[in-house]
Structure 1
């Protein structure tokens, strides 16, 4: 299995610090989660039903013609490559590594390239996979440029797959509204923006024929009843969503400013996280972990991703530790 953030128990064991004492900044998940209400007993006692309105609520939230609920966007990432004959696939890198891994495992020929190279070599590929905004680099793309790229790929039977797991803070940039076009597939995650990663819930927005094929491959009951109940309410809570978009933008800027103040100016990022390329990344990651702050370490390129602290006490804790490290590393 590939390496991911959120391995708090492993870090606690490795560094001999109880899990309760850690500040986990390794995932990029919104620490101010949507407030989950009491879940009715029937959600636990009955099999989930596809006609409970979740798909319609999700389509309205994402501004998409259709939205297929799946067990996290990860379920779609692993399954979509099985719906194509062997293809030439270009994947944005550095980026969420599960994309390239899934396409290779399904027998496709995969190249991982930086954004400029990937787009410059678009004619080489049948499928192009982008993360928008990118994780971890935060790269963004203009909507019209992406739609033009899709037209080129679609004209030769190709796909443009856009992973918008971190798009909720900037929905005006989303391609969900265009996802009825053949060969355009948009993935969304409920875990990042709503802070509901434990629900393992995501959505696929695409043309009806592709959604039907994906639904058939995934089988019934892709989401639990309790998850479906919670998501119907979270996706409909427009007041919370509006406030949280503003809050995430403010907090992302605050985190970037804090890192700059301590000599760790970000190389990229978005409202959910900031990313720092640094040859000392492994050293910094270890030094932070010794102080019970968990970040996401990337080996290639050497870099760290910092998620958002939660309450003001966590912000102050990060500030103090970064100040201490700055003095130690100078």
Structure 2
């Protein structure tokens, strides 16, 4: 689905689905995203979190909680932002004064390519040897592909988008964050099921996250690049994360028992979804503990049939067969999906 000023396809978009197929919001089961359908219980939020500007102490508590949860190396810096998408849109800043090809193995999440193409200084390259910047979505969206460490490093910038990696932390490349030119992107909304909170993190060396300092050091800061060569922290501006997001994020990142229990539940539910969908004429393409992608004879037809049963799924403009399902969150939702199939 798309929104104002955005022609790229994404999951979500119940308003558009209701406008086309009818029904009220409470009748719909949205399986078009990879968001945990059983979100972290946020509890009570102190009134000051809403009333006061976010302070440095609250931000420091959030970053320390993130450092512990992801085992971030001491030499790596963490930047918090109002959602991973805010960081993706600004990722070209980290290329410094370098222009040229960007290698983004496709199919994948389309906002990465859009961010680099929007600069006018970068273009997509299918040849990994002909690109100064590489982007790897790990695990990949929508097929769940994992990228080995052999693909990382050795160039101006390597972006590792681990938005869906918290279901399987053993696959994380966070240990590479101290390497020059490597940044790791983390999304809070998906695993914790709080996408509306808008919270994301970027992890890398201070020099990698502040290319203006690197450019000044080597005398390559030309006037034509001055605006683009600001640090990621400066680009996000003051108070990038809201007070409630600081409070909730710190609380959730410190709750390792919830995280472990959630991983177990998501793995069981992903297997349950496979069992249900593969009974039909479908083949598993891949996925994660938060979404599964299948190949079906006619994705558009099945998408339409499920939508008429008030179930929203995700299909892709580049494939007539691929179809992605998120996980139902309640027994009633599981029953709704099984009946529609």
Give the alignment's TM-score, normalised by structure 2.
Answer: 0.87
| Partner SS state of residue 220, structure 1 | coil
The yes-or-no answer on 1:69 pairing with 2:67 is: no
The yes-or-no answer on 1:79 pairing with 2:90 is: yes
**Number of residue pairs aligned between Structure 1 and Structure 2:** 307
CA contact (8 A) 2:40 2:194 kept: yes
CA contact (8 A) 2:283 2:296 kept: no
2:174 match: 176
What stretches of structure 1 of length at least 5 have no aligned partner?
114-120, 323-330
2:259 counterpart (216, 226, 241): 241
1:145 counterpart (137, 145, 150): 150
1:39 match: 45
1:159 counterpart (157, 160, 169): 157
Query: How far apart are the structure 2 equivalents of 1:48 and 1:297?
Result: 39
Query: How far apart are the structure 1 equivalents of 2:275 and 2:37?
Result: 19
* Deviation by residue 1:44-99 (Cα, 9 ceiling, x = unmatched): 01101233211111111111133211111111110011332322101121111000
Q: By how many angstroms is 1:246 displaced?
A: 1.2
What stretches of structure 2 of length at least 5 have no aligned partner?
1-5, 211-230
Query: How far apart are the structure 2 equivalents of 1:228 and 1:258?
Result: 38
| Partner SS state of residue 187, structure 1 | strand
- 1:55-204 matches, within 5 Å, as 55-65=63-73, 66-84=77-95, 85-111=98-124, 121-142=127-148, 144-146=149-151, 149-150=152-153, 152-153=154-155, 158-204=156-202
| Partner SS state of residue 167, structure 2 | coil
Larger relative helix fraction: 1
Q: By how many angstroms is 1:254 displaced?
A: 1.4
Query: How far apart are the structure 2 equivalents of 1:307 and 1:75?
Result: 23
**Deviating 4+ runs (over 4 angstroms):** none
The RMSD of aligned alpha carbons is 1.4
Q: By how many angstroms is 1:25 displaced?
A: 0.2
